[in-house]
Amino acid sequence: MLPQDLHIHTTYSANDNCVVPEQTVALIAAVKHARIVGVSDHFESLLNGGFERYCAEVSGYGLKVGVEVDGHTWVQEASEHEVDYYVMHCRDSGADYRSVELLLATGKPVIIAHPNVLGTDLDRIPAQCLIEINNRYVWRSNWREYYTPFVDRFNFVISSDAHQPNWLSQTVARYAAAELGVAEHLVFAG
């Protein structure tokens, strides 16, 4: 069993056409591929009344409740919603870097999502943020060159970014983390 997986999508990410109808919270909970499992659906998909139902269902299965926040335009609203942690898309823009501070001010863990494919400049990310090594995307860049300068500066989390049941795996991300000499940071005890 994996130690932790905090980046998983379910059918609540209705705007994401990579998610399959079988990818329900119930299925994620039943598979239970990691000791600590967190669901992090797209925040913008959870508005229009879906947020409370989402929190109740995810926490009802004993899973951590996260949201994936797509840049600065959603940060203010997301910071006003009670979750266990945030996963954030931080593109290479001043507005996105500044909005990271707003998420950190909530006191909740902030995971910078697949920075290697968003062009995130990790020199501009506060050291309290957790940096993701993401199984879906880590191989889609020169990850060795991208992450190596920062291995001593940040804590890292390893994630599947699963949108489909067979993506509940971290094989490539764990290979990259081992090559980088990165020890995974466990965000939640248990």
In the complex with Zn ion, which residue's Cβ is closer, 84 or 189?
84
Judged by CB under 5 A, which stretch of 45-53, 75-83, 109-117, 171-179 contacts Zn ion?
109-117
Amino acid at the residue 185: H
In the complex with Zn ion, which residue's Cβ is closer, 161 or 184?
161
Judged by CB under 5 A, which stretch of 57-65, 110-118, 124-132, 167-175 contacts Zn ion?
110-118
- Collapsed DSSP state (helix, strand, coil) of residue 88: strand
Joined together, the tokens standing for residue 7 give: 């980046």
- Please pick, from the candidates 65, 75, 113, 182, the single residue that binds Zn ion as defined by CB under 5 A: 113
CA atoms of 137 and 128, how far apart (whole Å) = 22
The size of the interface with Zn ion (CB under 5 A), counted in residues, is 3
Cβ at position 117, least distance to Zn ion in Å = 9
Q: Is 34 exposed, middle or buried (0-12, 13-18, 19+ CB in 10 A)?
A: buried
Residues 62-91 interacting with Zn ion (rule: CB under 5 A) = 68
Could you tell me if 13 and 45 are in contact, meaning their C-beta atoms sit under 8 angstroms apart? yes
Cβ at position 114, least distance to Zn ion in Å = 6
Count, in order, helices (H) and strands (E) of the chain: 7, 7
Does 6 interact with Zn ion (rule: CB under 5 A)? no
In the complex with Zn ion, which residue's Cβ is closer, 88 or 181?
88
Helix (H) or strand (E) holding 180: helix 171-180
CA atoms of 82 and 91, how far apart (whole Å) = 24
In sequence order, what are the beta bridge partners of 130?
Answer: 111, 155
Judged by CB under 5 A, which stretch of 93-101, 111-119, 120-128, 171-179 contacts Zn ion?
111-119
In the complex with Zn ion, which residue's Cβ is closer, 44 or 184?
44
The residues that touch Zn ion, with contacts defined as CB under 5 A, are 68, 113, 161
